[in-house]
Structure 1
């Protein structure tokens, strides 16, 4: 045992400090201990049951006895839930109709309206734009012989592409990043009052901006996703103003935040592996395997939560309606029963799909775009800069349950 982790396998109780650098800097080591001793456990600090086994996580993501919301079937009073605080009112309003937070039939209607834009055959049309943007960015720093890759490359590509897709001005990229960083602070473990206030302020500003763009598209539609969402009906219904705002915000956030982390995580894993880059990216099939293995080994989002919508028993754990459980996607990717030698980077694996994008009806709608970006920019980066190496050991951000780097300093 150590100073940030205590496991009592007999009671399945775990004491784990998520803010300790020993954990968040390399959570995979802790996940390995949990798999060995206590793959289903009650996390004392979080007050919830957590599941890490691949089969359990995969099944629970698809289990309709669980959902992302609970207030559609029970009141706060029935469940003993406190009223939401006033200081996060704007954030809660922006989340009210989020694709990530709602269940059918509302989820079905919203997802149907936006899903067409994110299917692989549509997204693949953006390949040329992604490659051009990546080349243009590398042109800016190639002659310098060194770069901080996140700010000069990883931050820019996903936010630019999702903004173009939705119909947001690219010049808004830096502001979108600032809003997004504040916004996702609400999902961090042990967030502070200051984090909540920053998220609420950015949610209000974000919503006000999106509302102004919606007004423009109502009067002058364009060939973009936002115009499509405004002017397309589903079974005789159009999206409301608040649904449009929530959906646009979640697409902008989810469409780049995780991919920024994953570009950095992937480059780090590849460089630290010492494997020949020429072998890793010898063709499109090998590149795809590299991308999937980095997603498995170093997922950018670690946890998704579910409410129990009825009384249910899972893995010997009795849950009542209104209980919340957490599924550790990143730990499921390291289940030794599914992935032999799970902590080792093996791009030639053929052990099955990772769960980094989730599963079931809430499977990440942006997965085809994220995968396309990674499959284009990673081989391009290593081809353009063949002598790439780490200038210093990267530091991981203290933003669990997300996983990304503070910075990635490279030389060549």
Structure 2
């Protein structure tokens, strides 16, 4: 049952509690109403304006008048921002040099030093390793007749792949996942102080571990991304240790989080569609098209924010410097003005596109890797388990904007 919302764009803001299971289990009911009424709206629960149309979201992701960072152009006092919380100092440190939080020129320099590791021609070489991992995971549960695919398949593969790219041992993947999941909890709506303290401790432990690895690389360099980040130069400058640690944490966190969600959401979409997986993954081209439709149909990230970097106007509305706006990626991907039969899962559609990886200077640096991981993992899974079926109704996590399944219990014949 869809949650009741109030939406008269002329007089009332939208109210939709992100912690309401009726909402986060099916946010698309709200999106349908927004697309029918007005996809530009003030979301009372978040206390800022949001944009849900594909046209607006795509444009605003590229609009350099909005940014992920604000304190490089304004002070906390000027913006009325509260002082940093001492009990999340370590977590804030990990965010300080994050690619997701920086704007040019710092963003340009840091991304330039990391980007070459994620170009398509490089990550294409990882296909055999990803296939090997997928089959190792399947071998671990195939005799059981059933499994929770999130824990046994979706989560470990991208965690191991990104860890190995950075230069960390595969056996560290469970610990990296633990730290990452605790840190990502900071992005929940209405986060509690207990969650903040736990995320901060995870940040401390994560930074300490990477600090030890950095010391080891300086003694004994390797052909891995961590060594590359420590030694590469642009215009005679290198990354500081703090920048390397922030970047490694971002890559480890973002390098598996969205892929885990898309794997679970995608398998759910495929199984519920009734389409024959043998057709959906009959060729590399069709596998790629199926992955793109999975990314569009049930996106892993539904809300991304930007700051207005100055007093500006967009879409006939004025925004003050420092004001937050919300870009609704999941809603944009279901915009009926952009997609025919937008609410239908159709891997054969001719109007395929999505904003699930963002756009502009903050377009996901790991998108080529994520696409290959998904194409290979899906292909191997359905090849090995052609009789895959849902064993219970899938349920989404209580983290609205990180839209992913809590469990995906399946069986096979």
Question: What is the TM-score with the length of structure 2 in the denominator?
Answer: 0.98
- Name the stretch that deviates more: 225-234 or 307-316: 307-316
CA gap 1:137/1:3 in 2 versus in 1, 3 angstroms:
closer
Aligned residues: 412
CA positional deviation for 1:78: 1.4
Residue 253 (structure 1) aligns with: 253
CA positional deviation for 1:12: 5.4
CA positional deviation for 1:149: 0.9
> Does structure 1 retain, via aligned residues, the 8 Å contact 2:302–2:401?
yes
CA positional deviation for 1:5: 2.3
Q: What is the SS of the residue equivalent to 1:74? A: coil
Kindly indicate whether residue 86 of structure 2 is the aligned counterpart of residue 93 of structure 1. Answer: no
CA positional deviation for 1:269: 0.4
Kindly indicate whether residue 410 of structure 2 is the aligned counterpart of residue 410 of structure 1. Answer: yes
**Mapping of residues 5-404 of structure 1, within 5 Å:** 5-11=5-11, 13-404=13-404
Q: What is the SS of the residue equivalent to 2:196? A: helix
Q: Distance in 2 between matches of 1:227 and 1:262?
A: 30
For structure 2, the 5+ residue unaligned runs are none
CA positional deviation for 1:402: 0.5
Q: Distance in 2 between matches of 1:118 and 1:297?
A: 25
- Name the stretch that deviates more: 142-151 or 5-14: 5-14
Q: Distance in 2 between matches of 1:4 and 1:82?
A: 33
Q: Distance in 1 between matches of 2:375 and 2:278?
A: 15
Q: What is the SS of the residue equivalent to 1:221? A: coil
CA positional deviation for 1:2: 6.2
Q: Distance in 2 between matches of 1:255 and 1:308?
A: 27
For the aligned residue pairs, the C-alpha RMSD in angstroms reads: 1.2
Q: Distance in 2 between matches of 1:70 and 1:343?
A: 36
CA positional deviation for 1:9: 2.6
- Name the stretch that deviates more: 359-368 or 311-320: 311-320
Deviation string for 1:48-93 (max 9, x for gaps)? 0001111111111111111110111111111111111111111111
Q: Distance in 2 between matches of 1:124 and 1:42?
A: 42
Q: What is the SS of the residue equivalent to 2:236? A: coil
For structure 1, the 5+ residue unaligned runs are none
Q: Distance in 1 between matches of 2:73 and 2:315?
A: 25
CA positional deviation for 1:280: 1.3
> Does structure 2 retain, via aligned residues, the 8 Å contact 1:5–1:17?
no
Question: What is the TM-score with the length of structure 1 in the denominator?
Answer: 0.98
Q: Distance in 1 between matches of 2:308 and 2:67?
A: 7
Q: What is the SS of the residue equivalent to 1:326? A: strand
CA positional deviation for 1:219: 1.3
Q: Distance in 2 between matches of 1:152 and 1:369?
A: 20
> Does structure 1 retain, via aligned residues, the 8 Å contact 2:2–2:23?
no
Deviation string for 1:164-192 (max 9, x for gaps)? 00001111111111111111111111111
Q: What is the SS of the residue equivalent to 1:14? A: coil
